[in-house]
Amino acid sequence: MDFLTSPAFWIALGQIIMIDILLGGDNAVVIALACRKLPPAQRTKGIIWGTAGAIVLRVILIFFAMTLLALPWLKFVGALLLVWIGIKLIAPDEDGHGDVATSDKLLAAIKTIIVADLVMSVDNVIAIAGAAQNAGEHSLLLVVLGLLISIPIIVWGSQLVIKLMARFPIIITAGGMLLGWIAGGMLVSDPVLANPDRWQWMLKLPQNDMVKYGASVAGALLVLAIGKMVAARQAKTAEVH
């Protein structure tokens, strides 16, 4: 227990908590979007279980952070998955949900939270892993403690966003575009596109702010355009029926 008296341990813990809080904004939006249509009685369950599942997977991802971030195509596939989730949030598929049990909807919300958080964490976990490195053998303990402390903040933030969405529906669209923004920046930093020394048969992109922000804007606009198009088509189909 000597590590508890080490300034380095507490400094690293503080850094991890700050990273979790700063990154928790994205999580809060995704959780709120996924749970917004659940009955009030099940909304809290969806937020808590979805957050818990996402946290467990994030700890596992942090443990393998360096290896995972070096895998080709991982960010590429993750970006496409985030675009799909963003589109589904803007234009949720209402067909066939009338007969689905509430528990199924709860499980679907939890699954959305976990998958989205897992994909979004690919870039973010490297910051947490870096902050924990100075703790040596206690690095994983630091990560878990930091995440446990940040959970109430993320859960509270999600409930606040749900209330805001009820008053300002445009936040739903903005949340979907946020996932598209993250997806664009993630895609162009995939090792296949970013590493000039390997996979030379693939087009290489300069890793600068202009490329990253340009891809992020393109991702956000793509989710918005496809989401609105799908929503319009669903509204037309609903009118026919």
Report how many helices (DSSP H) and strands (DSSP E) the chain contains, helices first. 9, 0
pLDDT at 217 over 70: yes
For the chain, the first-to-last Cα distance in angstroms comes to 67
pTM over 0.85: no
> What pLDDT score does 195 carry?
77
Domain ranges (residues) in the chain: 2-240
Place of tokens 């947490």: 128
pLDDT tens readout for residues 78-120: 788 888 888 887 887 654 333 334 445 888 888 888 887 777 7
Nearest to 122 by CA among 84, 74, 89: 74
The more confident residue out of 98 and 137 is 137
**CA–CA dist 153, 28 (Å, integer):** 9
Mean pLDDT of all residues in 222-226: 94
Place of tokens 């924990």: 132
> What pLDDT score does 97 carry?
38
Assess contact for 207 and 194: CB atoms under 8 A: yes
pLDDT confidence band for 182 (50 / 70 / 90):
confident
Mean pLDDT of all residues in 16-28: 65
pLDDT confidence band for 221 (50 / 70 / 90):
very high
pLDDT at 225 over 80: yes
pLDDT at 131 over 70: no
For residue 200, CA distances in Å to 15, 23, 95, 189, 208 come to: 37, 33, 45, 15, 19
- Kindly provide the b/e burial profile for residues 136-164, where b requires at least 16 CB atoms within 10 angstroms of the residue's own CB: eebbeebbbbbbeebbebbbebbbebbee
pLDDT at 123 over 60: no
Kindly tell me the burial class for residue 108, based on how many C-beta atoms sit within 10 Å of its own C-beta (0-12, 13-18, 19 or more): middle
For residue 169, CA distances in Å to 91, 163, 164, 175, 224 come to: 13, 10, 8, 10, 14
Assess contact for 204 and 197: CB atoms under 8 A: no
The more confident residue out of 62 and 189 is 189
Question: Mean of the per-residue pLDDT values for the chain?
Answer: 76
Place of tokens 């870039």: 123
**Least confident interval from 110-119, 138-147, 167-176, 183-192:** 138-147
pLDDT tens readout for residues 46-68: 888 888 888 788 777 777 765 66
| Percentage of residues in the chain having pLDDT higher than 90 | 7
